[in-house]
Amino acid sequence: MTDATDAARAWLAQDPDPVTRAELDQLLAAADAGDASAAADLADRFGTRLAFGTAGLRGRLGAGSNRMNRVLVMQAAAGLAAYLLAAPGPDGPPTVVIGYDGRRNSDVFARDSAEVFAGAGLRAILLPRLLPTPVLAFAVRHLGADAGVMVTASHNPPDDNGYKVYLGGADDGAQIVPPADAEIAAHIQRVADAGDLASIPRSHGYETASEDVVEAYVAATAAVSPAPGSLEGMTWVYTAMHGVGWETLSKILERAGYPAPALVTAQTEPDGTFPTVAFPNPEEPGAMDLAFETARRVDAEFVIANDPDADRLAVAVPDADVAGGWRPLTGNEVGLLLGWRAARLAATAGAGREASLACSLVSSPGLAVVAERYGLSSHATLTGFKWISRAPGIVYGFEEALGYLVNPETVRDKDGISAAVAMLGLVAEARGRGATAADLLRDFQEEFGYFASGQVSLRVQDVSVIGRIMARLRAEPPRAVGAVAVERIDDLLHGLDDLPPGDVLRLWLVDGSRVVVRPSGTEPKLKAYLDVRGETAADARERLGALEAGAKELVASE
């Protein structure tokens, strides 16, 4: 009998879920009968454990320690409870608020967590129904909670789910960062090592939050950018990408005074099977096709999309030069537009260097140019809003992967709904002077210059290849990328200035271009992020094309 088989039988003894129990029973029977694929599947499911880190948990649904399931979630909840109970704090039990989206088992995992938290003696508050991730992030601060849990896998494939953790108090409702992640993981491991899920106390004594929490989020988000007067005739399209964004956004639009969009009806209601998209991520090819089809039908001025848990925002504008007539804006393009908006607001309010614009170090350096123009500070952080949201004096933050933080006093995380409201405000202002959404980009370029960004990725079968390439680049630093000489290299392996350590190399070229090389945090990929600034749009595109060719050689496999 193999180690994986032993582990599977031990797992069966504590699994409360009849679905995953039946799944595992079938696999064990097949493996016992000599089925090699079943044996390999068991080895994959039990050969390791889904790691808990700064992104919490995320993985495929299914039985086993390397999958998302009720056993793993309850162990995580018990470990988080132990962490909170061990932490010094005010008198009384810690408070945890729990949210969930429309993915498969999100509601089950959320209720399991609430019962485990309540059983541990915590005050557990479950949000009233499936809601966007930003509502949970808001609720942590609004309710004065010590922690928050959101059950979601965001824009991952349909078979995934996840467990994202936020901390209140001094962390101000932001996602966890070291050392909290490792400390929580250690508590979870101790629970898992005990191997006795039945011994974890559970209670139905958790609370269900009232609608007042959702109403407070709606009011705060509508105030981000109320409609500037009548917008009669404004036609736009919205898709929720089979997620949970529309119900909340619709209330905010009415409160803020914006006209209702034409909906992509096939994608409006939450559906964890995501039937119309292969990959529910607005960045993925084909994901926006139904939105563009709707936009052509209603002759829309622009398209707005949220990902399934509504923490990301995508925007598209008409463009006669591309197939289908619609062009999605890049995350950097939207990020710079919203950053310009934030800088203007901060300057109008009299903010100085104590206020800052922040983005991840792989996002456009154009944001620093905007900040400087308006007399604000700027910060480049490690990737992820757990870092961006902690930038000193932050009034706005973004990352190129469609994430935007436009109201840090309300939600200390990326928020695709408040970003949508801010974008609607920009478009409404442009319409008032006879301009379009696409004109906003030209306005930015005329004001700040022509920035262009790209990305080169190397996907590998053996992840050790990525480590060897990074080691080679450190041992033999490149003197040029393509035909452009390297001016200096920042190695973040041991931290740099105000940046914590990360496996990142940042190359500055003599023509002002930049290349950032880092392993992907979610896929077996090595990524190179490219940024250039040109004299014209055509010049920027030409520079970017040349840099892409050089970057492909830079990250080439051994």
317 CB burial (10 A radius; 0-12, 13-18, 19+): buried
Q: Which residue has the tokens 């139905």?
A: 204
Q: In whole angstroms, give the CA distance from residue 151 to residue 96.
A: 13
Alpha-carbon distances of 520 from 55, 455, 460, 467, 509, rounded to whole Å: 13, 12, 11, 12, 23
Q: In whole angstroms, give the CA distance from residue 308 to residue 287.
A: 12
Kindly list the domain boundaries of the chain, sorted by start residue. 1-47, 53-209, 211-448, 450-554
Q: Which residue has the tokens 């969009």?
A: 261
Of 318, 292, 316, 455, nearest to 383 (Cα)?
Answer: 455
Q: Which two tokens stand for residue 442?
A: 């030209």
**Cα 5 to chain center, whole Å?**
36
Q: In whole angstroms, give the CA distance from residue 69 to residue 428.
A: 45
The DSSP secondary-structure symbol of 61 reads B
Q: Which residues contact 203 (CB under 8 A, 6 or more apart)?
A: 115, 118, 119
- pLDDT the model gives residue 476: 93
- pLDDT the model gives residue 558: 60
Q: Which two tokens stand for residue 414?
A: 């990326």
Q: What is the mean pLDDT of each run of 10 residues along the chain (558 residues)?
A: 85 94 95 93 94 89 96 98 88 94 98 98 97 98 97 93 96 94 96 93 98 98 93 95 98 97 98 94 94 97 98 96 93 97 96 95 96 97 94 97 96 98 97 94 94 91 90 94 94 86 94 93 86 92 93 83
Options 3.40.50.2300, 3.20.20.10, 3.40.50.620, 3.30.310.50; CATH for 450-554 is 3.30.310.50
Amino acid letter, 68 = M
- pLDDT the model gives residue 54: 77
**What's the CATH superfamily of 53-209?**
Alpha-D-Glucose-1,6-Bisphosphate, subunit A, domain 3 (3.40.120.10)
CATH fold of the domain at 211-448: Alpha-D-Glucose-1,6-Bisphosphate; Chain A, domain 3 (3.40.120)
- pLDDT the model gives residue 344: 97
Sign of CA dihedral 110, 115, 117, 123: positive
SS3 content of the chain, % helix, strand, coil (to 5): 40, 20, 40
Q: Which residues are catalytic?
A: 154
HSE-up of residue 197 (Cα within 13 Å, Cβ side):
20
450-554 and 211-448 share a CATH fold: no
Q: Which two tokens stand for residue 355?
A: 């206020």
Q: Which two tokens stand for residue 143?
A: 């309710």
